[in-house]
């Protein structure tokens, strides 16, 4: 057990990291403060699911034509409210909205988010999460944020992370100097450093893919899945990217959502899911590819652009790419 005197909270950790950069303005630290507050609100709502009316369908569809869950809407509103009040974002783009949410024109950061990843798992009490990434705007401060501010390559991210609402609530993030995980301690109401310097093994024994689509996978993906079965590797797929990603990050493994006949461009969104997770996986020593190129080098063309995903332990990703190319 970690010594009580060595506990480091998320706020302390971010402040310590900021102190290493004397030219830092502190605005990024404030964004993390606002993310942390919204996370605690969503965590409260998730923990109450089944006791209050937050389960089930909202009665609407999102821009992708998918049924929206009540908690999707609640989480989206809570993150936007917290970040709007903080005043340190000039714009937010969300998987749940089909437009740019313009905020403070004097702020210099753009935030992209999937406020509640894995929402199909909400009603069955399985792990779900939030994914976010932060970019520095390219247009002049003091003006309205533009499409160019919001549609940047993943290599331009200055921070990315996710929150997983599971047996415990964890926030995992990177600013380009490694990956660190923080667990919410409800007794003090704060996130404490629990997983410092997270680094995934180069090889793993877990593969995560929706094998229901196997017949329509590209041939190289089929070959890899067959090889995994032949090697008696463990198949683990829960339908929540955050949950599958988090497990593979800790234990080693590969997560794939390749192109298929029904989803020729894949299913996952570049800006809200793929770029932030690619940044994290690379910072933890892994790899992330579309099958044709590094995910963080993909040029975004629209807010809800989809791309195929192959990410995880380096040797496993390389094996897939060798079979596909």
DSSP state string for 50-111: TTBS--SEEEEE-TTSPEEEHHHHHHHHHHHHHHHHHT-EEEEEETT-SS-EE--TT--EEE
Mean pLDDT by 10-residue block, N- to C-terminus, for the chain (325 residues)? 70 86 78 96 80 47 58 92 96 95 97 90 82 97 97 97 94 96 94 97 96 93 96 94 96 95 91 98 98 97 97 98 92
User: SS3 of 28, please?
Assistant: helix
pLDDT at 1: 42
User: SS3 of 222, please?
Assistant: helix
CATH of span 7-195: 3.30.540.10
Say if residues 165 and 154 touch (Cβ distance below 8 Å): no
CATH of span 206-324: 3.40.190.80
Pinpoint the alpha helices (H) of 118-235. 147-150, 219-230
- The domain limits of the chain are 7-195, 206-324
Please spell the DSSP secondary structure of 252-263, one letter per residue: --EEEE---SS-
Number of C-beta neighbours around residue 261 at 10 A = 9
Pinpoint the alpha helices (H) of the chain. 10-19, 27-47, 70-86, 147-150, 219-230, 241-251, 275-283, 314-324
pLDDT at 55: 47
Beta bridge partners of 170: 164, 183
């Amino acid at each position: 057990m970690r010594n009580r005197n060595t506990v480091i909270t998320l706020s302390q950790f971010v402040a310590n990291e900021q102190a290493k950069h004397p030219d830092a303005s502190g605005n990024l630290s404030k964004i993390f403060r606002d993310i942390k507050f919204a996370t605690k609100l969503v965590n409260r709502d998730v923990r109450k699911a089944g006791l209050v009316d937050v389960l089930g369908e909202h009665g609407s569809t999102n821009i992708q034509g998918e049924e929206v869950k009540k908690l999707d809407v609640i989480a989206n509103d809570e993150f936007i409210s917290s970040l709007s009040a903080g005043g340190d974002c000039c714009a937010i783009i969300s998987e749940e909205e089909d437009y740019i949410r313009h905020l403070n024109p004097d702020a210099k950061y753009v935030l992209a988010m999937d406020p509640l990843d894995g929402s199909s798992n909400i009603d069955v009490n399985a792990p779900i999460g939030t994914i976010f990434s932060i970019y520095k705007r390219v247009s002049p401060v003091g003006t309205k944020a533009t499409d160019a501010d919001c549609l940047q390559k993943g290599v331009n991210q200055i921070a990315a992370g996710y929150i997983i609402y599971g047996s415990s609530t964890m926030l995992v993030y990177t600013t380009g100097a490694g990956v660190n995980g923080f667990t919410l301690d409800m007794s003090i109401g704060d996130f404490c450093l629990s997983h410092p310097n997270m680094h995934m093994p180069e090889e793993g024994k877990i593969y995560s893919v929706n094998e229901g689509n196997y017949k329509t996978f590209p041939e190289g993906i089929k070959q890899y899945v067959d090889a995994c079965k032949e090697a008696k590797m463990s198949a683990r797929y829960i339908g929540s990217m955050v949950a599958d990603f988090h497990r593979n990050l800790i234990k080693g493994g590969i997560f794939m959502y390749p192109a298929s006949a029904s989803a020729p461009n894949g299913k996952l969104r570049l800006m809200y899911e793929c770029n932030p997770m690619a940044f994290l996986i690379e910072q933890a020593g892994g790899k992330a590819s579309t099958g044709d190129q590094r995910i963080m080098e993909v040029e975004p063309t629209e807010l809800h652009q989809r791309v195929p995903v192959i990410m995880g332990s380096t040797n496993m990703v390389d094996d897939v790419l060798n079979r596909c190319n």
